Structure 1
Amino acid sequence: MDKEEHIAVDPTFYSMVHGVEPDDFQSETTSLASTIAKGRLENGRSHILFIVLDYHQPNPLFRAPIGDSPKHILDIGTGKGSWAIDVADHFPSATVRGVDIFPPPVTWMPPNCLFEVDDVLREWTWRDPFDYIHIRMMYGAFDSEGWSQVYKQAYDALEPGGWIEQVEMDIRVHSDDGTLKKDSVLAGWGDLFIRCSERAGRSLRTQETMRGQMEKVGFVDAHEELYKIPLGPWAKDKQLKEAGQLQYAHWNTALEGWAMWLLTKFGEPEPWTKEEVQVYLARVRAELKDPHVHRYGYCRRVWARKPTEELRRQEIKCEPSP
């Protein structure tokens, strides 16, 4: 969807929720829960959301053209491991490694899927070079220097011609039709958290900076896709409606985790008390319940390639002499 294209509103949605005060849009729209999405939300890292949005793509799990037979794939910030498991199923001859600072709560995985507990800011010790490295929903994980280090190590760890891909959210909330009032809590949500994150030294603007940082360490042939993701199932389009439902459920389960540490440590004008955060989140939840506000957020996907040896040699030849 183009950044300027407005999301069409489902006119029947109002009659569906008229006269009720739902604690969860999801409870009032259970007919929307498809088998692909039901029960598969991840805490902060739902790849199912992007499967819904990229349903028209040959493989919505990724956009980089990695071919039909990659050998080694790395998933940084694997979370609950769902993406790594799905990709391992899709490429049974590949070895897929999911890495995070905590082990994923999985009870089963394909034999070609491995999960490791590690810190990607440390020196990478994997022996085999990767054909593809995937990063998802890691905004705020590192400071700028840390991100540069991750991209440099990813570059060094890829085969020539290998791909990196990253998906990140813009935490600001928007509307195209004026239904999100400028003085609402949600209208100021994103800017508040961005300011707090920058005081903490870990900016939440990752989606704005990731492409430039990839290119700075040497990645080429960069592409990007910008999505509008509804917050609530108010969209007319079936896939956007389902994405909005998933996003609404995700917000409701993750709000306190997002807010409590950041606001009690780096809130403005001074750190907030836990009670102040709880009052603030109650206001956020109350606004989220309003079905007449057509909110959405942006999400950006970037994929870029490590040059082949031949291309790299050409670039070196073209570099001016000192």
Structure 2
Amino acid sequence: MAEDSTETSITAAEPTPTATASIDPELAGKLQEPSFEIIHTINSAAPPVGLQPGQSPYQAYQAYQAPASPQSSVASDEEITIDDTFDEDGDSAYDSGSLQSDTTSLLSHITKYRYENNRRYHAYKDGEYWGPNDEQQSNQLDIAHHLFLLTMGGRLFLAPIGDNPQNVLDIGTGTGIWALDFADQYPSARVTGFDLSPIQPQWVAPNLRFEINDACDPDWGYSKQSFDFIHVRAMYGSVAHWPAFYQQVLDNLAPGGWYQQLEMSVVLKSDDGSVREGSIFDQWGKVSLEAGDKFGKDLRIHEQIKGYVTDAGFVDVVETVYRYPVGPWAKDPFIKSVGEWNRIHWQEGIEGWSMALLTRVLNWSYTEVQAYLGKMRGALKDNSIHAYHIV
């Protein structure tokens, strides 16, 4: 599922209806329309760590970026140049006393997973999320982590959080790979990651803690204003009421804290018309959006974040959009590498992204889903289709 990618940086002040969002002019010229992934960094009212008097959040964000990004970038507003020589036929700080009991204990029923259509799904809050939690989907999540690092020049985040973050929260942590890397990079920080599934490693650094929790719960159980940095990635289709979610984020951020979110679009497109109306890639986006709507947790958050966070009271929003090619059809070596990894990402992910939504929500049979996925796999190998999505 994919489309362009968007990245948004937001400073959060005390909740106020007059909060405004601004995009640095230097960035504006590079933006693509929102797609597969959106990163929003949000900072609250007190001057954020690293923000100098008179300095915009985007200037601080730019100053913090290191190492330098590759010269080639998927964030360019120019069309991705197709490699004409490519063989199109070939495939190449929480308060521990306040935590709720269900966030601190892995009870036996939490690991009594649902097995359905040859995939494994979470048991805690059974049915609230459509993604599997088995090894195949874990592989997809870790491949996605590599893709995002590749896009951001090896960085785990873009928000200017300073050199000494103290309390960090990773919502929807999945395999925990982002939290693991962050805890290693900042050994003095206390890092908490939570998810519906206990699929994270048991043995981790002493400054890292994994918990079972639900992002849709009305109270996550942490002391208010306790986190310097809250990170969210690939939560599309996971939250029924995003305004309430963003209010919780704001409530849990300390003054001067930052929020960053990265999301992907489920719509595939092309600039040369190779993603044709009615084709399997075209169907993918339409079917996925329909299923998400009927499930009650739509898949369009990548294009809604900016409005939601602004309404919640966050200010100074910086949004960056990336185009992720699907397959190594681009001429530029860096973008070609992104496309190759993204194709692997899709090959690993499409069954998990669709199986539960199509069978539980749209009432497709297992056989119908597999036939549909067979067409998708064939299209993913077709390098004459110059598809991309936003991240």
Please report the TM-score for the alignment, with normalisation by the length of structure 2: 0.65
**AA in 2 matched with 1:224:** E
Matched, 1:216 2:308: no
Matched, 1:54 2:146: no
Q: Of 283, 287, 291, which residue of structure 1 is paired with 2:379?
A: 287
List per-residue Cα deviations over 1:120-173 (Å, max 9, x = no partner).
333122237000100000100011x2x222211110111112111100001100
**Match in the other structure for 2:285:** 190
**Superposed displacement of residue 265, structure 1:** 2.8
Q: Of 227, 230, 254, which residue of structure 1 is paired with 2:349?
A: 254
Matched, 1:63 2:158: yes
Q: For the residues of structure 2 that align with 1:105 and 1:162, how far apart are their CA atoms?
A: 26
**AA in 1 matched with 2:237:** G
**Superposed displacement of residue 12, structure 1:** 3.5
Confirm or deny: 8 A CA contact 2:140 2:348 kept in the other structure. Answer: no
From the superposition, tell whether residues 46 and 135 of structure 1 become closer, same or farther in structure 2 (CA, over 3 Å): same
Confirm or deny: 8 A CA contact 2:292 2:357 kept in the other structure. Answer: yes
**Superposed displacement of residue 257, structure 1:** 1.3
**Match in the other structure for 2:135:** none
Confirm or deny: 8 A CA contact 2:81 2:331 kept in the other structure. Answer: yes
Deviates more, 1:235-244 or 1:158-167: 235-244
**Superposed displacement of residue 53, structure 1:** 1.1
Number of aligned residue pairs:
271
Q: For the residues of structure 2 that align with 1:41 and 1:244, how far apart are their CA atoms?
A: 17
Please report the TM-score for the alignment, with normalisation by the length of structure 1: 0.79
Confirm or deny: 8 A CA contact 2:292 2:298 kept in the other structure. Answer: yes
From the superposition, tell whether residues 107 and 167 of structure 1 become closer, same or farther in structure 2 (CA, over 3 Å): same
For structure 2, the 5+ residue unaligned runs are 1-29, 33-76, 93-137
Confirm or deny: 8 A CA contact 2:291 2:357 kept in the other structure. Answer: yes
Q: Of 67, 80, 85, which residue of structure 2 is paired with 1:7?
A: 80
From the superposition, tell whether residues 124 and 159 of structure 1 become closer, same or farther in structure 2 (CA, over 3 Å): same
Q: For the residues of structure 1 that align with 2:215 and 2:356, how far apart are their CA atoms?
A: 22
**Match in the other structure for 1:43:** 141
From the superposition, tell whether residues 108 and 292 of structure 1 become closer, same or farther in structure 2 (CA, over 3 Å): farther
From the superposition, tell whether residues 42 and 277 of structure 1 become closer, same or farther in structure 2 (CA, over 3 Å): closer
**Superposed displacement of residue 214, structure 1:** 1.4
TM alignment of 1:152-167, pairs within 5 A: 152-167=247-262
Q: For the residues of structure 1 that align with 2:312 and 2:257, how far apart are their CA atoms?
A: 14
Confirm or deny: 8 A CA contact 2:173 2:179 kept in the other structure. Answer: yes
**Match in the other structure for 1:319:** none
List per-residue Cα deviations over 1:178-215 (Å, max 9, x = no partner).
22222311122112211221111110001111221112
**Superposed displacement of residue 108, structure 1:** 4.3
**Match in the other structure for 2:369:** 277
Q: Of 222, 226, 229, which residue of structure 2 is paired with 1:129?
A: 226
The DSSP-based 3-state class of the residue aligned with 1:13 is coil
Q: For the residues of structure 1 that align with 2:173 and 2:228, how far apart are their CA atoms?
A: 17
Confirm or deny: 8 A CA contact 1:9 1:235 kept in the other structure. Answer: yes
Matched, 1:86 2:177: no
**AA in 1 matched with 2:80:** I
The DSSP-based 3-state class of the residue aligned with 1:259 is helix
RMSD of aligned Cα (Å): 2.0
The DSSP-based 3-state class of the residue aligned with 2:144 is coil
Q: Which has the higher contact order (CA 8 A, sep 6+)?
A: 2
**Match in the other structure for 1:76:** 171
**AA in 2 matched with 1:126:** Y
Deviates more, 1:251-260 or 1:2-11: 2-11
The DSSP-based 3-state class of the residue aligned with 1:280 is helix
